[in-house]
Amino acid sequence: MPIKLPLLHLLLLLRLGAAAEAVSPPFINATIAACEVSVSPSVVEAQTVGTYQSLTVNCSCCDSIAEAGWLVAVRASISNAQIAAITAMNRRERQAIPVQAALRRRCDVGEACTFREFPYSAGEVKQLYIEANNVGRARILISLFAVNSSSWAQLKSVVRKPAAQPEADSEDSLPNKVPLGSGEISIVALRKQRMIDRAFEWSIGLVASVLAFCMGCMTDLRETRPHYKRPLALLTCLILQHLFLPPIALGLYKLFGIADDMGFGLVAIATMPGGGMAHLTVFLMSGDRNLSAAISLLNALINLGLSPAWLSLFTHYLQFELLHYRLVLWLLMLFISQFIGSLVATCRPGLAQAALNWVGRPLLLLATILMVTLGIYINHYAIDHLESKEMGCVLAFIASGFCLGGLASYLVKLDKPRRKTLAAETACCACLVAIPAIRMSCDSPTADLATIMPLAAAIFTPAPIIVYLVSHRVKGLLGSFIDKRKEKQSRHYSIVSSLAKMAEDVTAVSAPLVIEEGEDGSAEKQKVTTL
């Protein structure tokens, strides 16, 4: 017995020494030191969604390592799993590559990061495929590892573990691994250009222009003169919209950490305030409609200069390309439409009312149907990109506009209708015209990703309005209920006090005698109770 314990220790030491020698033998270290790994191509600039792009993994030492009894694993890490995926077969060509084991897991590094591992044994996987799934940009890191030949069984056991286990989320999924090298690929996935996309963009621009004309038909220029003579509310709103909203949008883009393309879209709608949604909001909130009309007309004119100026600064900061003349053309079309409508309303009120009845209302219904049906079908990619931080950023921008307009109007001591007008005008933007203006002024995928923010703003802008209307309705119902309650209590108190007064009068004069003369002139005594 005393001798077995040292022998057991000796056997364990010998076993560990052999395992250590098997993990990293000297010839493996020498081979790895001279190993070169490269991936081609290194940049995929324009891959259409739904297509495949082949990647060739070149390794100078992998065959030598495989001949020595080791295996080589390929790890493909993707920065954004929504944009692309790595596969070992081209499904379109049905070219299957034998894969012994594959490990799919997710890692949280601030974005949707996914990596997958393939065996590279005996040159089985020298070519991988990138499958473009959605519009956007992604980075792919291809890493090669030398793995002990006895580790594949352990790797398979790791693959079979549930993803919720902590062991399955660690970076050391390949036991006894030795890094060989890596290569990085940048991918840009683009949408396939279709005729229906162009038709949607032009139809949205046409709807925005006709709605601007209808909004002008509701603007009598003679009724807006008092606001130009006393321009306190007008100047306050314009300063808030054109000097405060773009920096606020830039700050929210940085605060929420959204993508640069979506940040550009948020700043773009911040530089295009006003629009038909603002005028409709003022109408629903019982604001000053004449003030709203004056602000909208001036915004349509000022946007021609300040919107390209703000966007030039932002695109220079992000190194984006912007076709300014296309942006100005869309904004100019909006201004001309609204100005013509205002002239018609001033000179021919009957014709303006007919245009509202026969054009404005049907077109508003058509625009709603168009956005709900065709808009969702064409822009369904936006649903995958619109996550919680993007929605929170848009809602914060809209809420900050309402709060900023309400606070500023309170500080300059405006009346209640004009406070509502400034709050609504500061929070609403011309989202409809921003969609075709951005898409035709920028290159893809910037144009496709930037238009997600106008779409989200068009959806979420009515949310504060609905909250206001519901709260206003609830407040009215509660006020009516309280008034009826007070009236009922007051009536009950009046009845009780009258009865008490009657009781006091009856006690004081219980049955006085009143002498009345009869028809024949004789006096007659009667008992009369006075209440």
Tell me the DSSP string of 84-151: EEEESSBTTTTB----S--EEEEEESSSEEEEEEEE-GGGS-SEEEEEE-SSEEEEEEEEEEEE-GGG
Tell me: do 343 and 431 sit in the same domain.
yes
Tell me: do 35 and 141 sit in the same domain.
yes
In the prediction, which pLDDT does 167 show?
A: 37
Q: Is residue 216 part of a domain?
A: yes
Per-residue model confidence as pLDDT tens digits over 125-152: 567 788 888 888 888 888 777 776 555 5
pLDDT at 485 exceeding the cut of 90: no
Spatial distance between the Cα atoms of 94 and 129, rounded to a whole number of angstroms: 12
pLDDT at 332 exceeding the cut of 70: yes
CATH number of the structural domain spanning residue 76: 2.60.40.10
Query: What is the residue-averaged pLDDT of the chain?
Result: 75
pLDDT at 96 exceeding the cut of 50: no
The answer to which of 6-10, 42-46, 111-115, 503-507 has the lowest mean pLDDT is 6-10
Pairing state of beta strands 177-190 and 43-48?
parallel
Q: Is residue 131 part of a domain?
A: yes
82 or 290: whose pLDDT is higher? Answer: 290
Residues 38/41/43/45 CA torsion (nearest 10 deg): -170
Spatial distance between the Cα atoms of 176 and 149, rounded to a whole number of angstroms: 9
Q: Is residue 486 part of a domain?
A: no
In the prediction, which pLDDT does 503 show?
A: 62
Tell me: do 42 and 132 sit in the same domain.
yes
pLDDT at 528 exceeding the cut of 80: no
pLDDT bracket for residue 498 (50, 70, 90): low
pLDDT at 271 exceeding the cut of 90: yes
User: How many domains is the chain built from?
Assistant: 2
Tell me: do 57 and 141 sit in the same domain.
yes
Return the structure tokens found at 172: 């050391």
Spatial distance between the Cα atoms of 413 and 408, rounded to a whole number of angstroms: 9
pLDDT at 249 exceeding the cut of 90: yes
323-326, Cβ contacts within 8 angstroms, sequence gap of 24 or more? 323/440, 323/441, 323/442, 324/441, 326/437, 326/440, 326/441
Tell me: do 185 and 199 sit in the same domain.
no
465 or 529: whose pLDDT is higher? Answer: 465
pLDDT bracket for residue 7 (50, 70, 90): very low
Tell me: do 360 and 307 sit in the same domain.
yes
In the prediction, which pLDDT does 131 show?
A: 83
pLDDT at 227 exceeding the cut of 90: no
The mean pLDDT value for 156-175 works out to: 40
Q: Is residue 345 part of a domain?
A: yes
123 or 269: whose pLDDT is higher? Answer: 269
Tell me: do 222 and 131 sit in the same domain.
no
Q: Is residue 509 part of a domain?
A: no
Give pTM, 2 decimals.
Answer: 0.74
Domain of 240 in residue numbering reads as 195-477
pLDDT at 338 exceeding the cut of 70: yes
Per-residue model confidence as pLDDT tens digits over 397-453: 999 999 999 899 999 989 988 998 999 899 888 888 898 899 888 888 888 888 889
pLDDT at 16 exceeding the cut of 80: no
Q: Is residue 271 part of a domain?
A: yes
Report the candidate in 302, 317, 335 with the shortest Cα–Cα distance to residue 234: 302
pLDDT at 106 exceeding the cut of 50: no
pLDDT at 386 exceeding the cut of 50: yes
Final residue before a domain boundary, out of 477, 492, 517: 477
Per-residue model confidence as pLDDT tens digits over 169-194: 344 444 566 777 778 888 888 888 78
Tell me: do 138 and 249 sit in the same domain.
no
Final residue before a domain boundary, out of 165, 190, 215: 190
The mean pLDDT value for 202-214 works out to: 84
The mean pLDDT value for 312-319 works out to: 83
pLDDT at 264 exceeding the cut of 70: yes
Tell me: do 207 and 139 sit in the same domain.
no
Tell me: do 374 and 426 sit in the same domain.
yes
In the prediction, which pLDDT does 505 show?
A: 57
Final residue before a domain boundary, out of 163, 190, 217: 190
380 or 494: whose pLDDT is higher? Answer: 380
Tell me: do 457 and 409 sit in the same domain.
yes
Tell me: do 96 and 216 sit in the same domain.
no
